[in-house]
A and B are shown apart, each in its own frame.
Chain A
Amino acid sequence: MRPLRDAFETFRRAPLLSALSVTTIAFSLFALGLFGLVALNIREALERLEDRVEIRAFVAEGTPPEDLAQAASDIASFPEVLSAQLVTQDEALKRAQAELGEFRDVFEGAVLPASIDLRLRPGRRDPATVKQVAARVKAYSFIDDIRYGEEWIEKLYRLRNIAGIVGLVLGFVFAAVSVIIIGTTIRMAVLARAKEISIMRLVGATDAYIRRPFLVEGFAKGVMGGLMALVLTWIAQTMINRYVIDTIFFDARAALLGLLFGALIGLAGSAFSVGRHLRSV
């Protein structure tokens, strides 16, 4: 009870600095949260896109159909490959016309090459595996060219990593600032209560007992900062959903982890400062 009461006492005594501590923690987690959301949504998009990842191996004209059939069944037995389908020139033309709709007249003759279309098993659709399978297919002498969405897959992966890293870096910078500001708040609280603390020591209160209210205070600020960040992130996400693009939000576990991280920042700032300043009282 007493630690909690003392913790709120500090809010009353230094409301501005306390609000500042909570806000910086909130911004730290908000930065982490925003970039975390970007990373999360890119990952989600990647999963959906990966479903459609195909490798299309174009076949040189005049290749004997038996060779093609043999190659298709060989490729289908690669461990990474879900299916390998032979697409003849006619079929390629029909598909192109269907996809292009009103521009179907562009294709008149058999200008499109035949191909073997591969789909990879789920979980084996990352850029490295795609590249590796493509290289093996290319080894067949009658395969002219090979296409897969290498560029945009790699770009998306890179984007996701960048979003994650930027979020982490910004989050940690803000976290460091929060630790410093919380440390300053605690320092003021310790000095304001210097006499009380020295009397506590004199009558035999343990350091742990003296420290406790300051740690509770830091913890409470951390949780408050975490809640604030969660609300901010949620507002940002709602705005993005409304005006830009549909996105998904963190699940309960990730949100809880954020709160926990906030509490940890608050606790770390307090512990760091109170240890240093109690010694000087």
Chain B
Amino acid sequence: MIRFTRVTKTYPRTGTAVQDVNLTVNKGEFIFLTGASGAGKTTLLKMVYMEERPTSGEVRVAGTSSVTAKARDVAKLRRKLGIVFQDFRLLENRTVEQNVSFALEVIGAPAAVIGGKVSRVLTQVGLAAKGRAFPRELSGGEQQRVAIARALVNDPFALVADEPTGNLDDRATRGIFQLLREINAAGTAIMMATHNLELIRRQEYRTIEMARGQIVFDSADPVTHPKLAH
């Protein structure tokens, strides 16, 4: 479903961010991506939603190849992916409902289905009562729930989350993580980059650690990547 084949990404100024990575993410899988800052986690995730293309090698996501995809193919691919960031990226001048429906409007979804989808997904993330609120009126955890609702509203097959709990306190972190587990249980694959080792230790999900652009540990493949994470 998501497959990296000998992927290397080099930036002209900062050098190699990802080096010779092979990785397969299966349907419905939950993956923790960990490693120090600058280890290449964000670049790896960006290549999943094709914000970045590999310098060499190939990334295939749901039949879309990084080698051949045109801008239009990338747009189509992203309609099947949910993307969540540490900084939420909500539109401040729009309500919670409008932030979520925005994701449907701009891909030309028929107006008739938007209302139903938005209220369903807001219920799913536990914000059914806050649809009319503006982002600044919400806590950090609630804002991230809005961002997750926006990512989910198109029924993606996978959710890419780059440090989704990085800005949140422990309680909000647990809440968001619980929500992601529920989403995963419903069949959506999740790739989540995180620094939070506490969170990882308590779970039995597949864990991949990166260092200097390479995968140095993969709990699903201890033969190739035997080194243990710390």
Q: Is the interface of A mostly helix, strand, loop or mixed?
A: helix
Which of chain B's residues have a CB closer than 8 A to the CB of A207? 71-72, 75
B99 nearest in chain A by CB position: A199
Q: Contacts A204-B107, A209-B106, A209-B108 known; A199 to B75 CB distance under 8 Å?
A: no
Q: Counting CB contacts under 8 A, is A205 at the interface?
A: yes
Q: Are B106 and A200 in contact (CB under 8 A)?
A: yes
Which of chain B's residues have a CB closer than 8 A to the CB of A202? 49, 78, 83, 89
A193 nearest in chain B by CB position: B91
Q: Are A199 and B89 in contact (CB under 8 A)?
A: yes
Interface size class of chain B, counting residues whose CB lies under 8 Å from the partner chain? 20 to 34
Q: Counting CB contacts under 8 A, is B134 at the interface?
A: no
Q: Counting CB contacts under 8 A, is B150 at the interface?
A: yes
Q: Are B107 and A203 in contact (CB under 8 A)?
A: yes
A201 to B76, CA, bound (A): 10
Q: Counting CB contacts under 8 A, is B79 at the interface?
A: yes
Q: Are B150 and A206 in contact (CB under 8 A)?
A: no
Q: Counting CB contacts under 8 A, is A13 at the interface?
A: no
Q: Are B89 and A203 in contact (CB under 8 A)?
A: no
Q: Contacts A203-B103, A206-B72, A207-B71 known; A195 to B79 CB distance under 8 Å?
A: no
Contact string, B67-93, partner A, CB cutoff 8 A, digits 1/0? 000011001111111010000010100
Q: Are B91 and A204 in contact (CB under 8 A)?
A: no
Q: Counting CB contacts under 8 A, is A198 at the interface?
A: yes
Most chain B CB neighbours (cut-off 10 Å) among A200, A206, A210: A206
Q: Are A203 and B91 in contact (CB under 8 A)?
A: no
A206 to B91, CA, bound (A): 19
Beyond A2-B105, A203-B79, A209-B107, 14 extra complex contacts between A and B, CB < 8 Å: A195-B89, A200-B106, A202-B49, A202-B89, A203-B78, A203-B106, A203-B154, A204-B75, A204-B80, A204-B81, A206-B71, A206-B75, A207-B75, A209-B108
